[in-house]
């Protein structure tokens, strides 16, 4: 099973696939970060860990049921002359769910009805895990199908998935904390989720959208937002000394 260990080409394939799995997991991290941000502080880390562990288990389970996964690509029935497969149904359903969830989160953020997290402490924790599990299936499906198309050895795919989830576990908290501290970044992340949801729906209708365009748009938007954050930070530093001296100046002038 691990005969590939002595093969340099297999290690290159492992590194490539692991990097690809990490990139494909970015939207998963964003989704989990936004969901756990609604929980009380003490519940966020367990929810984040359980959510990413579920992602790994889901991907490995789908990977080892590879015959069933390949069966999902085969047409199940035809609607208006268009063949519909199990994968299409999952992608469209997941995309609609992602659109609804992201829109709901944007509405809550704009209306200020997100709550303090304590009222949803009991039911919210379980509900967050359920929502994470649902989206894990959608994200994992695309990820596993991509892995199968790149590598022949199942053990290489399994190792790449585990490595990717370990990296995601390390990166999830800093990303989540950063999103929580900056409301505009959270809004940008929710916009990404809407874009990913639309992409999933389009892919479900057999219209291929090159992932490079999606990731370029996301990277460009993040770069612009980082520049905006830096600019706001510099302005705050310039205005802070003036605000500190205002009371003294007013007092001395009186």
Per-residue pLDDT tens, the chain, 254 aa: give them: 566 666 777 777 778 777 777 777 777 777 788 788 778 878 888 888 888 888 888 878 877 776 676 667 777 787 777 788 877 887 788 788 878 878 887 887 777 655 444 444 444 778 888 888 877 777 777 667 666 666 667 777 788 888 888 888 888 888 777 877 777 887 887 888 788 888 888 888 878 877 777 778 878 888 888 888 888 888 877 776 554 455 545 545 55
Question: Same structural domain for residues 26 and 8?
Answer: yes
Q: Are residues 196 and 245 in the same domain?
A: no
User: Scanning the structure block, which residue is given the tokens 């022949």?
Assistant: 152
| Burial category of 127 from C-beta neighbours within 10 Å (exposed 0-12, middle 13-18, buried 19 and up) | middle
Give 21's contacts (C-beta < 8 A, 6+ positions apart): 143, 147, 160, 161, 163, 164
Q: Which residue has the tokens 């310039």?
A: 238
What is the C-alpha separation between 93 and 83, in angstroms, rounded? Answer: 16
50 dihedral zone (left: phi>0; alpha: psi -120 to 50; beta): alpha
Instruction: Say yes or no: 222 and 200 in one domain.
Output: no
Identify whether residues 224 and 205 lie together within a single domain. Answer: no
Of 222, 234, 237, 152, nearest to 184 by C-alpha is: 222
Residues 220, 188 share a domain: no
Residue 229 · residue 182 · CB < 8 Å: yes
Residue with tokens 């994200």: 139
Given a contact cutoff of 8 angstroms between Cβ atoms, the answer to whether 113 and 164 are in contact is no
Task: Judge if 162 and 233 occupy the same domain.
Answer: no
Number of helices and strands in the chain (H, E): 9, 2
What secondary structure does DSSP assign to 150-216, as a single string?
H-S-HHHHHHHHHHHHHHHHHHHHHHHHHHHH-HHHHHHHHHHHHHHHHHHHHHHTT----HHHHHH
Amino acid 88: pLDDT: 82
The total of structural domains in the chain comes to: 2
Where in the chain does DSSP place strands (E)? 75-79, 82-85
pLDDT at 116: 47
Taking residue 55's Cβ as centre, other Cβ atoms within 10 Å add up to 27
Find where tokens 């460009």 sit: 220
| Same domain (yes/no): 76, 158 | yes
Q: Supply the range of the domain harboring residue 181.
A: 3-209
The per-residue b/e assignment along 56-80, b for 16 or more CB within 10 angstroms, e otherwise, is bebbbebbeeeeebeebeeeeeeee
Query: What secondary structure letter does DSSP report for 112?
Result: T
Whether residue 182 is found in the same domain as residue 239: no
Do 124 and 168 lie in one domain? The reply is yes
pLDDT value, residue 123: 46
Same domain as 216, residue 184: no
CB 164 within 8 A of CB 60: no
Instruction: Taking the CA atoms of 201, 109, 174 and 123 in sequence, report the sign of the dihedral they define.
Output: negative
Q: Do 47 and 68 share a domain, yes or no?
A: yes
* 23 and 129 fall within a common domain: yes
Contacts of 44 (CB under 8 A, 6+ apart): 36, 37, 176
């Amino acid at each position: 099973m691990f005969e590939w260990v002595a093969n340099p080409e297999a290690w290159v394939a492992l590194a490539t696939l692991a990097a690809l799995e990490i990139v494909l997991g970015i939207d998963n991290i964003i989704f989990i970060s936004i969901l756990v941000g609604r929980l009380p502080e003490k519940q966020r880390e367990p929810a984040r860990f359980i959510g990413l562990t579920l992602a790994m288990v889901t991907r490995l389970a789908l990977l080892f049921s590879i015959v069933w996964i390949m069966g999902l690509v085969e047409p199940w029935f035809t609607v208006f002359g268009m063949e519909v497969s199990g994968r299409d149904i999952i992608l469209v359903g997941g995309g609609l769910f992602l659109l609804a969830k992201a829109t709901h989160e944007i509405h809550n953020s704009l209306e200020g009805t997100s709550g303090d997290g304590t009222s949803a402490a009991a039911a919210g924790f379980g509900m967050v895990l359920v929502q994470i599990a649902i989206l894990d299936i959608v994200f994992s499906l695309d990820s596993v199908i991509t892995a199968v198309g790149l590598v022949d050895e199942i053990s290489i795919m399994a190792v790449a998935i585990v490595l990717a989830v370990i990296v995601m576990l390390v990166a999830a908290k800093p990303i989540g904390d950063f999103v929580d501290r900056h409301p505009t970044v959270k809004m940008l992340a929710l916009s990404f989720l809407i874009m990913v949801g639309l992409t999933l729906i389009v892919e479900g209708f057999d219209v291929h959208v090159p992932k490079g365009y999606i990731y370029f748009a996301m990277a460009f938007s993040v770069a612009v937002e980082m520049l905006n954050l830096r600019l706001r930070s510099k302005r705050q530093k310039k205005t802070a000394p003036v605000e500190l001296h205002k009371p003294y100046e007013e007092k001395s002038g009186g």
